[in-house]
Amino acid sequence: MPKPAVALDLLLLPTWLVPVEPAGVVFKDHGLGIRDGCIVFIGPRAEALKCDAAQVRELPGMLLSPGLINAHGHAAMTLFRGLADDLPLMTWLEQHIWPAEAKWVDEDFVRDGTNLAIAEQIKGGITCFSDMYFYPKIASTCVHDSGLRAQIAIPILDFPIPGAASADEAIRQGIELFGDLKHHPRIKVAFGPHAPYTVGDENLEKIRVIAEELDAAIHMHVHETAFEVQQAVDNTGERPMARLGRLGLLGPRFQAVHMTQISDEDQALLVESNCSVIHCPESNLKLASGFCPVERLWQAGVNVALGTDGAASNNDLDLLGETRTAALLAKAVAGSATALDAHRALRMATLNGARALGIDATVGSLEVGKAADLVAFDLSGLAQQPIYDPVSQLIYATGRDCVKHLWVGGKPLLEDGRLTRMDESKLIATAQAWGRRISGHNE
């Protein structure tokens, strides 16, 4: 008896298929089949063509990979892009960004800024992002409407913030949003204590208890600069990582963003507790914050994911570019050209991000059974020729302008470089109107 043909909604036939898992593999002339939003088939082209596909899409000259995962950012800060450049972290935050946020951030700002960030990220090959910003309920509505996947981290500080008069209020809102979105297929809610220098022990303990009860992730800026660590040691005699360990916050659900300062004791804590580190190399470079020792962490077994940080400290949400920066910087920091090779860099931008966000059973690699979160990069242009290793070409010689198509859960959000659900000219006009208002040029 001949086997019945596999039924597919969509069959994709790229020149190269990079599954990320197994590591280091490139399949040439293979097909990937999607049914009900999931990957149900991966195999040689000849086998793929035997499937019973409702739609077949040839992708000549294209590399199909898992969608990129931007594991740290502040989406609505796109509207502050370029507002305060070339400054160190604390001057940038205390003298420019926090006053601007106090003046401008409201629900409309977050809606417009988040939609702009979502569109930029889709066009850049990102299928999932982590957001940590004010009015998280608004951001989650934007994500829901867009079709993208996201982790929404509830911002918590010891002082009032836009949308929450106290840390207790922010935590209450977080619990409510967590409950509302518990069964959402694309959105996960996490808790986002801002940083060790803005959240005291009392609130950190509350967050630990609630995150434990809900099995929720904790997403936090940690050890971003040497100044942060030195100030904590001077004031308390304890490094922030040691403090977080003592308070019981560290564990596999803990996402430590930045980590440019890592002593042997800090590294041991990361390894023992199985935390993820989220590396934001361009923000760290631009604010002169320091260098995360990515290769050392990777060799020690720490899961290192990648983030852009907000557009006010980067100044773009280009995770492909960020991956290139990470790969180059890792070599300089390790003093070794073999550090973070192109294949591992792509893994960091995909599967490691999924693992950090606790969604690696669903996304992060091209495997049968996972959701069809995919990006197709066009490598047929002259700047990519000739092609010896398509992954090397993607990381070292390709820009986000080569992103052609993108799917989340099998749904197309980008077709031939065009957004399918968002109006690009409206997004640009809205951002420009905010720019005129913020810069005081609003006649």
Ligand X SMILES: CSC[C@H]1O[C@@H](n2cnc3c(O)ncnc32)[C@H](O)[C@@H]1O
Choice from 12, 195, 217, 333 touching ligand X (CB under 6 A): 195
Task: Write out the DSSP string of 123-139.
Answer: HTTEEEEEEE-SSHHHH
Task: Write out the DSSP string of 421-432.
Answer: SS-HHHHHHHHH
Half-sphere exposure of 90 (CA within 13 A, CB side): 9
Out of Zn ion, ligand X, none, what residue 155 binds, judged by CB under 5 to 8 A for its kind, is ligand X
Out of ligand X, Zn ion, none, what residue 322 binds, judged by CB under 5 to 8 A for its kind, is none
Choice from 101, 112, 322, 360 touching ligand X (CB under 6 A): 101
Cβ proximity to Zn ion, 278 vs 302, nearer residue: 278
Binding segment for ligand X (CB under 6 A), chosen from 2-10, 108-116, 144-152, 190-198, is 190-198
> Of 300, 248, 245, 302, which is closest to residue 275 (Cα–Cα)?
302
By CB under 6 A, tell whether 309 contacts ligand X. yes
> What is the rounded distance in angstroms from the CA atom of residue 12 to the CA atom of residue 55?
9
- By the 8 A CB rule, do 136 and 153 touch? yes
Query: Least CB distance from residue 310 to ligand X, whole Å?
Result: 5
Out of ligand X, Zn ion, none, what residue 30 binds, judged by CB under 5 to 8 A for its kind, is none
By CB under 5 A, tell whether 101 contacts Zn ion. no
Binding segment for ligand X (CB under 6 A), chosen from 39-47, 188-196, 238-246, 338-346, is 188-196
Residue 295 annotated in ligand binding: no
Task: Write out the DSSP string of 203-236.
Answer: HHHHHHHHHHHHT--EEEEES-SHHHHHHHHHHH
* Phi-psi label, residue 177: left if phi above 0, alpha if psi -120 to 50, beta otherwise: alpha
Residue 224 annotated in ligand binding: yes
Residue 72 annotated in ligand binding: yes
Residue 194 annotated in ligand binding: yes
Query: Least CB distance from residue 83 to ligand X, whole Å?
Result: 11
By CB under 6 A, tell whether 132 contacts ligand X. yes
Sheet holding 218-222, edge to edge: 68-70, 126-132, 149-156, 187-193, 218-222, 254-258, 276-279, 303-306
Query: Least CB distance from residue 313 to ligand X, whole Å?
Result: 5
Residue 144 annotated in ligand binding: no
In this structure, the number of other CB atoms found within 10 A of the CB of residue 248 comes to 13
The two three-digit tokens of residue 407, written as one number: 């799917």
Q: What is the dihedral angle through the alpha carbons of 59, 65, 71, 76, rounded to the nearest 10 degrees? A: 0
Choice from 194, 208, 404, 405 touching ligand X (CB under 6 A): 194
Choice from 131, 224, 341, 360 touching ligand X (CB under 6 A): 224
Task: Tell me the one-letter amino acid at 68.
Answer: L
> What is the rounded distance in angstroms from the CA atom of residue 191 to the CA atom of residue 175?
9
By CB under 6 A, tell whether 310 contacts ligand X. yes
Cβ proximity to ligand X, 292 vs 379, nearer residue: 292
Beta strands 218-222 and 403-408, pairing class: unpaired
By CB under 6 A, tell whether 279 contacts ligand X. no
Choice from 101, 266, 282, 309 touching Zn ion (CB under 5 A): 309
Of 49-68, binders to Zn ion (CB under 5 A) are none
> Of 219, 225, 221, 285, which is closest to residue 261 (Cα–Cα)?
225
> Which residues sit at the interface with Zn ion, rule CB under 5 A?
309
Binding site for ligand X (CB under 6 A): 74, 93, 97-98, 101, 132-133, 155, 157, 192, 194-195, 221, 224, 283, 309-310, 313
Q: Which residues are annotated as a binding site for substrate?
A: 101, 194, 224, 309
Residue ranges for the known binding site are: 72, 74, 101, 194, 221, 224, 309
